[in-house]
């Protein structure tokens, strides 16, 4: 795709794959081998023996953090809850987050309609060979690689100069309008949460602003069709996110997102009007490992679809990625190396998704191992 905007950035490519939504429309009873993660004689991917139903990710009331006197005990206790959630879970749900219900409803409706577009229309928005933005899948690097039971649409939304202008132009106008509004609100929310985290961690507020004020935001809309063999497929391979903070909107009431906690998969139950927040690899790096980006995955179901939108927020393009200097000064050690953000992203998208392996590559001890 040619860009009108010379500055827009191509972070990577992914092999073009067929639409799973179209495949699921055919009345198939078996899924093609490329989606089968395990043969049927093995232990199923999803086991009922790992009963984690008593575990759930923490819920943080943001109104308490945003609107209560920061000297009060109510504030301190909610901030400490946020800090503990980011350290121990890497995931939490937020309520009273300030993104209005009508906007959430409008955006949801437009995303649901977007995935209902006829294939001829979607084709115009499909990924191109040299750029992974658009409909398709990400991180597909070989014809042998297993695929997710999912169609997604990926787009860079902020800052404006990084947008693929032509892709934006082709979006249905109402979706585009709602996406603009949602993107603005979610950036505000991400900045506000990052500000609270900086307080909890003792990171210098100015350093945090320099890193994030003009941050990179992208969105990934996920559609998981019903799957005839849900126990053999995955909607989303286990992975951690490359960004700093992800804000996930679960559009449907169907459960599917699972977080790895102490070796077990814990389901993140959609709560009305809540958003799911998770720590990404960049935040683990900036916090020098204090906050953890946790592996997560999505499972699929035989008779029901599921939709979600993940909005990824990362530091600004010109910044160098590495542990916050104000934190390293306190801790006297840097656990991750420093690289320009662009180099980091290009490295991430050039690989097959594989748990937290890319973060390991950024670790100083890993670097030492490779050098010796």
Ligand X SMILES: O=C(O)CCC(=O)C(=O)O
User: CB of residue 278 vs ligand X: minimum separation in angstroms?
Assistant: 8
Burial string for 16-54 (b: 16+ CB within 10 Å, else e) reads ebebbbebbeeeeeebeeebebeeeeeeeebeeeeeeee
* Token output for 284: 């683990």
* Token pair 């603005």 in the structure block, residue: 184
C-alpha span between 150 and 135 (Å, rounded): 11
**How many other CB atoms are found less than 10 A from the CB of residue 93?**
21
Contact partners, residue 154, CB within 8 Å, separation at least 6: 132, 133, 134, 136, 138, 218, 219, 220, 221
Footprint on this chain of ligand X (rule: CB under 6 A): 220, 222, 236, 241, 248, 256-257, 296, 298, 308, 310
User: CB of residue 67 vs ligand X: minimum separation in angstroms?
Assistant: 29
Give the nearer residue to ligand X in terms of CB position, either 246 or 319.
246
User: CB of residue 139 vs ligand X: minimum separation in angstroms?
Assistant: 11
User: CB of residue 246 vs ligand X: minimum separation in angstroms?
Assistant: 6
User: CB of residue 220 vs ligand X: minimum separation in angstroms?
Assistant: 4
**What's the burial of 71, exposed, middle or buried (CB within 10 Å: 0-12/13-18/19+)?**
exposed
Give the nearer residue to ligand X in terms of CB position, either 256 or 322.
256
Give the nearer residue to ligand X in terms of CB position, either 287 or 311.
311
User: CB of residue 288 vs ligand X: minimum separation in angstroms?
Assistant: 24
* Token output for 169: 């132009």
The enclosing H or E element of 198 equals helix 173-201
Give the nearer residue to ligand X in terms of CB position, either 311 or 335.
311
């Amino acid at each position: 795709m040619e860009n009108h905007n010379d500055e827009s950035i191509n972070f990577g490519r992914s092999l073009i794959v067929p639409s799973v939504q179209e495949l699921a429309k055919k009345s198939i009873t078996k899924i093609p081998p490329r989606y089968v993660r395990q043969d049927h004689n093995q232990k199923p991917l999803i086991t009922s023996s790992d009963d984690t139903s008593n575990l759930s990710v923490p819920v943080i009331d943001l109104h308490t953090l945003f609107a209560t006197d920061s000297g009060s005990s109510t504030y301190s206790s909610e901030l400490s809850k946020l800090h503990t959630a980011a350290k121990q879970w890497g995931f939490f749900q937020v309520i009273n987050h300030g993104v209005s219900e009508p906007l959430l409803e409008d955006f949801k409706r437009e995303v649901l309609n977007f995935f209902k577009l006829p294939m001829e229309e979607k084709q115009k928005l499909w990924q191109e060979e040299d750029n992974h933005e658009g409909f398709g899948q990400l991180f597909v690097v070989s014809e042998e690689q297993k695929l997710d039971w999912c169609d997604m649409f990926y787009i860079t939304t902020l800052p404006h100069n990084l947008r693929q202008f032509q892709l934006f132009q082709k979006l249905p106008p109402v979706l585009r309008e709602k996406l603009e509004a949602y993107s603005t609100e979610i950036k505000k929310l991400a900045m506000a949460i990052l500000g609270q985290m900086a307080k909890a961690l003792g990171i210098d507020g100015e350093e945090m602003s320099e890193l994030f004020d003009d941050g990179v935001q992208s969105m990934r809309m996920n559609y998981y069709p019903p799957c005839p063999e849900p126990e053999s497929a995955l909607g989303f391979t286990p992975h951690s996110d490359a960004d700093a903070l992800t804000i996930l909107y679960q559009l449907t009431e169907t459960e599917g997102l699972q977080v790895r906690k102490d070796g077990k998969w814990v389901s993140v139950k959609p709560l009305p009007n809540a958003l799911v927040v998770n720590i990404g690899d960049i935040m683990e790096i900036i916090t020098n490992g204090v906050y953890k980006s946790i592996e997560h995955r999505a499972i699929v179901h035989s008779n029901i679809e599921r939709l979600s939108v993940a909005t990824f927020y990362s530091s600004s393009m010109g910044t160098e990625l590495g542990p916050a200097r104000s934190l390293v000064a306190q801790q006297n050690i840097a656990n991750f190396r420093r690289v320009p953000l662009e180099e980091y992203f290009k490295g991430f998208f050039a690989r097959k998704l594989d748990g937290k392996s890319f973060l390991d590559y950024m670790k100083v001890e890993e670097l030492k191992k490779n050098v010796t």
